Structure 1
């Protein structure tokens, strides 16, 4: 199982939100590139970036910060937020991002996702952010009538590399990861699922690792990592079976 430390970007700074609410933003680092280096030095093998401003605006708004992170570390980076067309997908991949995460556009223009998978095999991830099982879009500002499982099945044979599944009500709340919903989604499709939202302790990671064989391929770590509830060394040892 891969651990993805998250760097959420707002106005060029690394922040954390509570349940996706922008007014709840708390700045954890004024220098996202320095934060990326710290995660690399801690032993993480991937980074998960979100352009929060871009997610709401529908276009990239934290490009300098993303580019600084890519230049600062020798780790693969996956990026989501405000990526709504093929030109933006191509721009980010050419800029050194390893994988792009498509969320809102997966609901509103699924054909674009399929085309992106054809043009950039192995580099497209679908982000499914759910509130009470229904997919939220536009930076979580809107909740659709589409169920998370149905959306995942829509892309099962499209060439998507993985699904990032976020339980919005758990995100940033430190209430524990929704293992049950994550496993239900992973069982429903043959795609690897990365759990996001609510990971608050090593116990949460142990619960996710216990269902790795059911398709849960990774976990995104946010606030618990920033505030010290999860020690990077212990977390990495646990998922590698060394704990």
Structure 2
């Protein structure tokens, strides 16, 4: 029995010694692991900044797609729009996470964050809030001759309401290539379209100020591109 107890004590001491050695090695490895984690944390904002810089041309390309010099199918335009929305959401969330982590480390560990940690979110906010867009020729024509277009719309709307006509073509004018007033086939609401430069990108006056009332031009096949002011829109007509 004494010999057995002695053996057990020896084994216990040996196991205890092994545990102490392993714990010491683990503690010695913690600083290295911490340094590696810090390096990874420092690389994340730089990588995110690269992704955001690559995101800016994608935004510009998406904006340019509404212009006449790009002729693509609506399905392709829709897929590109979905891609842009997903990229916006993913990068925006990652940018916020990087900023929150950097501020947390600053408040808790007193580690001053690098300016790179804030650049991705700052770039995205500036691009989105600055209204970075290239106005189409249709929008520019409206802004340059706003009073003339409003006068044409008012007179045409009055003429259409005072008669039994379903629609008519407006007189020729240097302001547009073609223009017509009509009642939408589905909603029966009064609509006036001005073709400035591109048949598929008209300037649209909508009496109800609701693009959903203009089928195949601003909704249900067509796409609302821009709201210029109440009742005035630029839409992308259905090409099918």
What band does the TM-score fall into relative to the shorter chain? under 0.3
Which has the larger share of strand? Answer: 1
Larger radius of gyration: 2
Q: Larger RCO: Structure 1 or Structure 2 (Cα < 8 Å, ≥ 6 residues apart)?
A: 1
What is the TM-score normalised by the length of structure 2? 0.23
Which has the larger share of helix? Answer: 2
